[in-house]
Structure 1
């Protein structure tokens, strides 16, 4: 039994009463929402597909005058090509994960968008009910730049996604033409498998913090202190102190949050 169980209603009630606002990182779904033993296979299955291109012609008389003045009497031919990143091994979220998200949403807890990455998983949210908005136009660009800046700072320290990339790259030694993410499913023994699993958790934590900073959220509350990955974890006490000094992250444990609530 979770020893915190008797105290959880206090936090739930504070959320319900809007005394505090709560958010969770989408890495809880995009990375950690995959069963631990399936993560390597899911990301190893990543591929890019290209649906058939579309072709259209815009007649000269239908073009704006400013464009006709530039191109003369010619029509404009347009070819559109889409590229779609897919992970065919990704399964539906576990029902327990879905139940937790539904419970969080019922309390007004919204998701923080992932650090923008090529092929990143996103959810359609036209009504703005799932995600906390990260802005539009210049505000969105500022958010994206900040998220990337913090993520790169974390990676430069050998934390976050840097660990899973390093493992995948090392595992391509026997086949240099293989993409690093495709090699993640090639762990040769249980020790390498566990290292890959820990690296995925570290990626999720690192990107969660980068997104948190980009949004300007007041407090990063987590009971995770990186025990499974020791000093190689971005949530290790030493790295927490570094993040506070470097990126201004204010950390709280569950107990800190309880003490803060009236």
Structure 2
């Protein structure tokens, strides 16, 4: 029997991998059942790469991080001469975002990540071009052929697009970026995700990054066709603008077949 593939939200995996946190958690018994299932190979655990690319940045520093991102261009010219076609030149231009100013992982997160990796956790992520990524070796192994790879990328993008069309997930950061670009010629060609860092409401930017992270986690979960998304987030703080709000659960189930469980529901499901 194949293991159940479960994507864990940050409000679950951090307590799941740390035994002291687990023992003090209100759902300690359920978390213990889930952890044992991981150790026994009954569950394959995953989490979203946004937890180290964006959520690891302090909320008060998130806007500064985005506004500090620079775009670099590298031009490469190769001249060739052939006795039959004569001289020719090949010119390529590489455009990339420079994220070298990323502050790194929070000191509290580093030991938790180590414990998660020891327990078998792998990262999953979206396919946003030119965006932040964790080191390649930390991800779920890539598909064995281009057909399966394309299938997963299409599913991920389709889910992300559907969330955005409903004003969820990345839509919040995109809106702030579009607002920041208004009347700013220097931001004309800048991605709204980067331009959002220049928005005057930095608290809104921090909240929007949190919503992007939730949307990316769910989109990647759907893209990889995982069985269960485990979370304790009901979107109460952000309200219905959160993709994880309880009011969106029926739509996520009907449209994408997503099973979103709490730890106790997951423990009951595997028992």
1:231 matched to 2:240: yes
| Structure 1: segments with no counterpart, 5+ residues | 62-71
> What is the rounded CA distance, in whole Å, between the counterparts of 2:86 and 2:183 in structure 1?
54
Q: What TM-score comes out, normalization by structure 1 length?
A: 0.83
Tell me: CA distance 1:129–1:86, structure 2 relative to 1, closer, same or farther (3 Å). closer
| Structure 2: segments with no counterpart, 5+ residues | 1-23
Q: How does 1:141-156 map to 2 (within 5 A)?
A: 141-156=150-165
Contact 1:41 1:184 in 2 (8 A): no
> What is the rounded CA distance, in whole Å, between the counterparts of 1:60 and 1:177 in structure 2?
43
> What is the rounded CA distance, in whole Å, between the counterparts of 2:110 and 2:85 in structure 1?
57
1:10 matched to 2:33: yes
Query: Computing the radius of gyration over CA atoms, which structure comes out larger, 1 or 2?
Result: 1
Contact 2:123 2:138 in 1 (8 A): no
Superposition deviation, residue 108 in structure 1: 1.2
Work out which structure has the larger RCO, using CA pairs closer than 8 Å and 6 or more positions apart in sequence: 2
Superposition deviation, residue 177 in structure 1: 4.9
Contact 2:30 2:263 in 1 (8 A): no
Tell me: CA distance 1:77–1:168, structure 2 relative to 1, closer, same or farther (3 Å). closer
Q: Which residue of 1 aligns with 2:43?
A: 20
Q: Which residue of 2 aligns with 1:162?
A: 171
Give the aligned CA root-mean-square deviation in angstroms: 2.3
| Aligned partner of residue 51 in structure 1, secondary structure | strand
> What is the rounded CA distance, in whole Å, between the counterparts of 1:254 and 1:8 in structure 2?
6
Deviations along 1:191-244, one digit per CA (max 9) or x if unpaired, are x33322211111111111111111110011111111221111000011121111
Contact 2:47 2:121 in 1 (8 A): yes
1:103 matched to 2:115: yes
Report how many residues are paired.
245
From 227, 231, 239, the equivalent of 1:218 is 227
Moved beyond 4 Å, runs of 4+: none
Contact 1:115 1:211 in 2 (8 A): yes
